[in-house]
Structure 1
Amino acid sequence: MVLRRKKIPDVGDLVVATVMKIFDYGAYVKLDEYKDLEAYLPWSEITTRHFKDIREVLRENQKIVAKVIRVDRKKSPPAIDISSKRVRPEEQRNKIIEWKRLQKAHNILELLAQKTGKSIEEIYNEVGWKLEDKYMEIMRGLEEIAMRGFEAALEAGIRKDLAEPLFEIVKKHVEIKKVSITGILSLKTASPDGINRIKEILSTIYQTAIEQLKNEGGKVSIYSVGAPRYRIELEGYEYKTL
């Protein structure tokens, strides 16, 4: 089970839930991102589709994405109502992606907890939340570590004795796909020292590209495809950095 900093969701939050008990006029679900919290999904908030039997659209253990529409914090545990019909298709897709990334990040933090002998709660406090503060998302922080090394963990304020084993785990379990762009450059000159000038131009292009990509784990290749044409290849993790 993933951990959240917030113990209770707010109205308007999207949540991932597992259907637990189905009744004639609604269902109770477990909120997968919030420890020991359940919510109620009323019949009228399940779907915009017409149905006669609630079991036509819901089943036990089904995963759903829903929007929180009511939270009564005065009760213990809090009374929470959710709606699945108010979730737009793009919201559902984005939430599922977020959920999968949360799960992957949690699994990596669990491996770190096992390796260091710490509890998962301690690892979240000493690693997870620091990555979230620095990189806006734990998984994004782990991806930064995969790209730039354990320095990315140190930059988030993680102690070296945790950053180093975390990096070793990330190297094995986080794969970042690289992207590339290619261009053809044509260089001509009538100067007597034309070859040297072309070499200087290509060297300047190479050094400039290397400087811009050095913090992004990028790669630059320049080679001749038959004078006066030269192929330039840039490789990195995101198109916007190339």
Structure 2
Amino acid sequence: MRFYEKKYPDQDELVVVQVVSIEEMGAYVKLLEYDNIEGMILLSELSRRRIRSVQKLIRVGRNEVVMVMRLDPDKGYIDLSKRRVSAEEVVKCEEQFEKGKTVNSILSQVAKKVNVDVEELYEKIAWPLHRQYGHSYEAFKVSISEPEVFSSLSISPEILADLKSTIARRLTPKPVKVRADVEVKCFAYSGIEAIRKALKAGESESTEEIKISIRLVAPPLYVMTTTSTEKVIAMDVMEKAVKRIGEVIEQEGGDITIKMAPKIVSESEDAELKALMDKFGAANIQGAGDDDSEDSLDD
């Protein structure tokens, strides 16, 4: 299936291809966004440097971002270049390709469910939205909160309902848990109060959307967590919180050791933490002389 309304790419366009075979003249490839039509990366267009080993530059089965140099649909050839593509262009083209793959997956699921040809859905849904929004993927994302995006499309209620439900399932942001583990110690006179002050300072870095929770695992280990659909922002807030705790505890004559820097944790890692906290238990936590810290820093 081709991702775009036009049947062939334009000259100088960047496309994603998969290497099919390597011959004396160059590498034969298929253009993944254009219904797997055949093209060739000429040997001289593989690299700007002297080629010592073709296998180190390109391999059968691997995807590559290349530029369209020349094409003649009537004669059936598309000449491509790998060496004319910059690293920045590779990133942008791969992002575009991933969007196209997502749209294709969504439409394929809907087509199978309502028993229609996927190309028909491209003609009625993807390509019109692509013209309007720059990419149908962007329209799909907007539709989660603005369903009127589809008001101009001529599709049946059944297809529309399946399309909306599939998009919601695939594109609605899923919340992630961000966690950091820190050891906070202070043997100065202020002791426990200094630790409490530092942890409160860390919690104060919370925002209206990103709330940080700090719990005691076992002295001096504390776990910091937050859950959000905005993982980049959540990571940034957590990093600021860890830094703030360090600044305050050092001012009080204590120190911080980062046992695990802020990271997105999986369900299994979360389960491991719970098991660890269960292992130490309430008795160990209260024996540390900071019994309020396990659940809250407010008291």
Q: TM-score, normalised by structure 2?
A: 0.55
**Larger Rg belongs to:** 2
- Written as runs of structure 1 = structure 2, the 5 A alignment for 1:83-98 is 83-98=81-96
Q: Does 1:169 align with 2:181?
A: no
Q: Residue 111 of structure 1 corresponds to which residue in structure 2?
A: 109
Identity %: 28
Q: Residue 102 of structure 1 corresponds to which residue in structure 2?
A: 100
- Written as runs of structure 1 = structure 2, the 5 A alignment for 1:130-149 is 130-149=128-147
Question: How far did residue 162 of structure 1 move?
Answer: 2.7
1:176 and 1:130, CA in 2 relative to 1: closer, same or farther beyond 3 A?
farther
1:172 and 1:41, CA in 2 relative to 1: closer, same or farther beyond 3 A?
same
- Tell me, what secondary structure is at the counterpart of 2:70? strand
Q: Residue 72 of structure 1 corresponds to which residue in structure 2?
A: 72
1:84 and 1:46, CA in 2 relative to 1: closer, same or farther beyond 3 A?
same
- Written as runs of structure 1 = structure 2, the 5 A alignment for 1:147-158 is 147-149=145-147, 151-156=148-153, 158=155
Amino acid at match of 2:103: A
Question: How far did residue 156 of structure 1 move?
Answer: 4.8
Count the aligned residue pairs.
180
Amino acid at match of 2:68: V
Q: Residue 16 of structure 1 corresponds to which residue in structure 2?
A: 16
Question: For the Cα contact (< 8 Å) 1:146–1:176, is it kept in 2?
Answer: no
Question: How far did residue 11 of structure 1 move?
Answer: 1.0
- Written as runs of structure 1 = structure 2, the 5 A alignment for 1:8-47 is 8-47=8-47
Question: For the Cα contact (< 8 Å) 1:130–1:157, is it kept in 2?
Answer: no
Runs (5+) with no aligned partner, structure 2 = 176-207, 210-228, 231-299
Query: Residue 128 of structure 1: which of 120, 126, 136 is its match?
Result: 126
Amino acid at match of 1:110: S
Give the Cα–Cα distance (whole angstroms) in 1 for the partners of residues 23 and 162 of structure 2.
Answer: 48
Question: For the Cα contact (< 8 Å) 2:4–2:127, is it kept in 1?
Answer: no
Question: For the Cα contact (< 8 Å) 2:41–2:80, is it kept in 1?
Answer: yes
Give the Cα–Cα distance (whole angstroms) in 2 for the partners of residues 177 and 39 of structure 1.
Answer: 39
Q: Residue 50 of structure 2 corresponds to which residue in structure 1?
A: 50
What is the aligned-residue RMSD (CA, Å)? 2.5
Give the Cα–Cα distance (whole angstroms) in 2 for the partners of residues 68 and 53 of structure 1.
Answer: 23
Question: For the Cα contact (< 8 Å) 2:27–2:42, is it kept in 1?
Answer: yes
Is the deviation greater in 63-72 or in 2-11? 2-11
Is the deviation greater in 9-18 or in 153-162? 153-162
Cα deviation, 1:47-83, whole Å, max 9, x if unaligned, reads 11332221221111111000000112331xx211000
Question: For the Cα contact (< 8 Å) 1:2–1:102, is it kept in 2?
Answer: no
Amino acid at match of 1:88: S
Q: TM-score, normalised by structure 1?
A: 0.67
Cα deviation, 1:139-190, whole Å, max 9, x if unaligned, reads 01110111223x2211455554432221111111112479xxxxxxxxxxxx
Question: For the Cα contact (< 8 Å) 1:25–1:54, is it kept in 2?
Answer: no
- Tell me, what secondary structure is at the counterpart of 1:68? strand
Question: For the Cα contact (< 8 Å) 2:124–2:153, is it kept in 1?
Answer: no
Is the deviation greater in 96-105 or in 50-59? 50-59
- Tell me, what secondary structure is at the counterpart of 1:173? helix
Give the Cα–Cα distance (whole angstroms) in 1 for the partners of residues 7 and 112 of structure 2.
Answer: 24
Question: For the Cα contact (< 8 Å) 2:31–2:39, is it kept in 1?
Answer: yes
1:145 and 1:47, CA in 2 relative to 1: closer, same or farther beyond 3 A?
same
